[in-house]
Amino acid sequence: MVEATSDTVKMGRRLIPKQELFAPGHRACAGCAEALAVRLACKAIGPNTIIVNATGCMEVVSSQLPTTSWRVPWIHTLFENTGAVASGIEAARKTLVKKRGIPDGGTHVVAMAGDGGTTDIGLQALSGMLERGHDVLYICFDNEAYMNTGIQRSSSTPYGAATTTSPAGKVSIGQVTWKKDLPEIAAAHEIPYVATACPSYPFDLMDKVTRGLAARGPAYVHILSVCPTGWRCNPELAIKVGKLAVDTGVFPLYEIVSGVYNLTVNVPELKPVSDYLSLQGRFRHLSPENIKQIQERVNKKYAALRERVKLTHEGIVV
Amino acid sequence: MHQNAGGEGKIAKRVGLEVSIAVAEAVKLADVDVVAAYPITPQTHIVEHLAELVANGELDAAYVPVESEHSAMSASLGAAAAGARAFTATAGQGLELMHEVLYAVSGMRLPIVMAVVNRALSAPISIWGDHSDVMSVRDAGWIQIFVENGQEAVDNVICAFRIAEDKDVLIPTMVNLDGFHLSHVIEPVTMPDEAGVGKFLPPLSYPFALRPDKPVTMGGFAPPGIYTEVKKGQEDALENSKKIVLKAWQEYGDIFGRYYHPVEHYRTEGMKTLLLTMGSYSETASLTIDRMRDKGMDVGLIRLRLWRPFPFDEIMQAVKGVDTLIVLDRAISFGGQGGPVGSELRSALYNLPKRPKVIDFIAGLGGRDVSPDDFENIVKRGMEMSRTDSIPAFQMYGVKE
């Protein structure tokens, strides 16, 4: 628990650390919800940490030599190896504490990567890190395409979205595959903690980062990060679009604690997906038929998630 | 090279060991903190033995059984960045899979040590030895050493840590040993004693380690206004590392009685024709030199031990007064000047007012033996060709027609 001091600020009923470990002055686009998500995550993580960052938007906006936005030890190396670099750091720290007597102090190792660096090119290294049980919190900041290189589709791009490599055209609706479900893939490694989050629900996000850090062993938090540049939406709508992703059931907020599912933001009555899709230029070409398809898929997946919550709470393994 | 001098005045014992096992024992003597490794023939025995040493509590280290070589080098990178002494080993395709990580490691100045058990590259797949793998990463910014036998492998693995970790170096270092021909043979090896190694190799104290009480940003991106200067600094550091390499080899020799040099000479005194080899085939070559000298033919042998930084001065010194330099290359630079070693030597010598003719033979690919007879043929053919005016860029020796 954060205690009320001159270093904290009260927001609603919550106390938030004032300290910005991800410093202002970075070069993210206007309305970048990923930068906000990183900022919030860093408040939950605190200064006693080492951050391992994949190549991607956050590396580019925060680390132009000779400047840095990072007030914690931070390392970027390549695109696809974040899980492996984090594994090496965690293994090294453990050994150095035991063997060379460096102070332990409970330093966290946190890996950060985008959806390309996680669901595509970095999936193998992530899987290795999770399978080997490294005590690392891995956070995927998912803006649903390769935004840094100019909005190319990834396996995390949703069905029907137009990107520069899945353009909508006379014979194509854009992305023709459904979004890869990385939280479920992470959960299949039977790690102690998996969660989804969105900066439009900031306290939920920070709580999940905190719980991920507290887990003994690997934790995976998948954060939907609205990208106004790539999603073709008004930058001032970033928070609203993120909230609609949750409220329509397109991106449910839940966690899996040692195999038990919790819907942390329960939406009893889902809003229609068109409320979410219509604010974004990347979906504007979709026909009512396409939107119906998406609605049906969301209904089905949300129902399945509710079912998992119910069954795992009743102790029935699914 | 084979004196039985022990450290600290003791007589060290010579034992018969598989070279891979001896390399792993040397890594244990270096007291590494992290080994991240992935199996690939013919390197596997090294990391298997390290896993065993860790499992038996004989080596206090984290053994990270990663899911690929890319991750082996990446995890080693992370470990080194956290201030740990890191070792890994690979071969052939594994080195290729590590390729981009090698550049990141050297660019970030992380002193990782790696044994490369040299293996041919696919396709066609071949698990046997040549130098195609390491030659494809020759520009990766690592210090690169070639060894000839088990003793040299053991000694140079220990030296590699000392060189890489020197505060004036901080450059990753690879020790190349030939797949099977060296890695899988049992050789007499004198293991250095712990006290001597302790004296020679102080504990690692990496000055920029990732730690919360002293935050650093590592691996930021460089705009065009900075990138060139960073690379110049890296090149200067690699060039300057040579004097540390020489110092480390000297001190190692003073403790253990075995001295190493960037270019090793074998019966070169007064010779107008020299053969140049790298790695384990040098031992066969030296037998050939003895045989040819017995027959009254004037030829000596030089062996290139230090490949990066390239020992320009020592090479120039070695070829002073030499008319013909015959090179054995165990890799092809496709569509180019032939073998990488031959073409580098030719270009290193080009601006000398008086330089030898460089005659480049490619042989020993994919594990094919180069016998003493083959070496004799190569030398004879090289000598004949040097008397003509038309010397090809390279020739492949022993191709079945």
Residue B2 confidence (pLDDT): 44
Q: Which of A26, A42, A62, A93 to mutate to test the interface with B (most CBs of B within 10 A)?
A: A93
Give the one of B76, B211, B212 whose C-beta lies nearest to A88's C-beta: B76
User: Is B33 in contact with A50 (Cβ distance < 8 A)?
Assistant: no
Q: How confident is the model at residue B337 (pLDDT cuts 50, 70, 90)?
A: confident
| pLDDT tens per residue, range A49-84 | 999 999 999 999 999 999 999 999 999 999 999 999
Whether residue A304 is preceded by a cis peptide bond, meaning omega within 30 degrees of 0, is: no
Which residue reads 């938007």 in tokens? A57
CA distance B64 to B45: 16
Which residues of chain A lie closer than 8 angstroms to B74, CB-CB?
77-78, 81, 84-85, 88, 125
Asked if the Cβ–Cβ distance from A78 to B76 is below 8 Å, we say no
Q: Do B212 and A72 touch (CB under 8 A)?
A: yes
- Sign of the CA dihedral with A243 first, then A246, A249, and A250 last: positive
In this structure, what CATH number is given to the domain that contains residue B344?
3.40.50.920
Q: What are phi and psi of B394, to 5 degrees?
A: -165, 165
Please tell me the distance from the alpha carbon of residue B346 to that of residue A171, in angstroms, as a whole number: 58
Tokens 């040493």 belong to residue: B53
Q: Domain span at residue B304?
A: 263-396
Q: What percent of chain B has pLDDT over 70?
A: 97
pLDDT digits (tens, 9 = 90+) for A95-128: 999 999 998 889 999 999 999 999 999 999 999 9
Residues B20 and B154 in one domain: yes
Any domain includes B401:
no
Contacts of A57 in chain B (CB under 8 A): none
The mean per-residue pLDDT over the stretch B325-336 comes to 97
Query: Does the distance separating the beta carbons of A124 and B221 come in below 8 Å?
Result: no
Radius of gyration from C-alpha coordinates of chain B:
21
Domain ranges of chain A: 8-313
pLDDT in tens, B185-227: 999 999 999 999 999 999 999 999 999 999 999 999 999 999 9
Tell me how many domains chain B contains: 2
Residue B149, in any domain of the structure: yes
- Average pLDDT, whole number, for chain A? 96
Where does the pLDDT of residue B10 fall: very low under 50, low under 70, confident under 90, or very high at 90 and above?
low
Domain harbouring B179, CATH code: 3.40.50.970
Those residues whose C-beta lies under 8 Å from the C-beta of residue A243, and which sit 6 or more positions away, are A198, A200, A201
Residue B297 confidence (pLDDT) above 50: yes
Do residue B233 and residue B374 come from a single domain?
Answer: no
Tens-place pLDDT, residues B341-360: 999 999 999 999 999 999 99
Tell me: do B113 and B221 sit in the same domain.
yes
Q: Domain A8-313 is classified in which CATH homologous superfamily?
A: Thiamin diphosphate (ThDP)-binding fold, Pyr/PP domains (3.40.50.970)
Please tell me the distance from the alpha carbon of residue B319 to that of residue A201, in angstroms, as a whole number: 73
Q: What is the pLDDT of residues A121-173, one digit of tens each?
A: 999 999 999 999 999 999 999 999 999 999 999 999 999 999 999 999 999 99
* CA distance readout (Å), B54 to B24, B33, B281, B322: 11, 10, 33, 51
Task: Tell if the CB–CB gap between A105 and B212 is shorter than 8 Å.
Answer: yes
Question: Do both B37 and B157 map to the same domain?
Answer: yes
pLDDT computed for residue B198 by the predictor: 97
| CA-based max dimension of chain A | 65
- Band of the pLDDT at A4, cuts 50, 70, 90? confident
B317 and B182 share a domain?
A: no
Q: How high is the mean pLDDT of chain B?
A: 96
B117 and B56 both lie in a single domain:
yes
Cα radius of gyration (chain A): 19
| B241 pLDDT more than 50 | yes
Which structure tokens are listed for A87?
């594994």
Rounded CA-CA distance A216/A109 in Å is: 12
Cβ separation of B82 and A64 shorter than 8 Å? no
B181 and B250 fall within a common domain: yes
With 50 as the cut, is the pLDDT of residue B7 above it? Answer: no
Do B278 and B157 belong together in one domain? Answer: no
Give the pLDDT of residue B359.
Answer: 98
In a domain, residue B2? The reply is no
Q: What is the pLDDT of residue A5?
A: 85
| Residue B249 pLDDT | 98
User: Where do runs of H (alpha helix) occur along B302-391?
Assistant: 312-318, 340-349, 372-386
CB contact under 8 A, A73 and B211: yes
**ipTM for this prediction:** 0.97
* Domain termination site, one of B237, B256, B275: B256
One domain, residues B214 and B282: no
Residue A259 falls in which region: left (phi positive, over 0), alpha (psi -120 to 50) or beta? left
Q: How far apart are CA B26 and CA A169, in angstroms?
A: 62
- The model's confidence at residue B3, banded by pLDDT at 50, 70 and 90, is very low
Residues of B in contact with A75 (CB under 8 A): 78, 81, 210, 217-219
Q: Is the model's pLDDT at B58 over the cut of 80?
A: yes
For A75, the closest of B72, B86, B210 (CB atoms) is B210
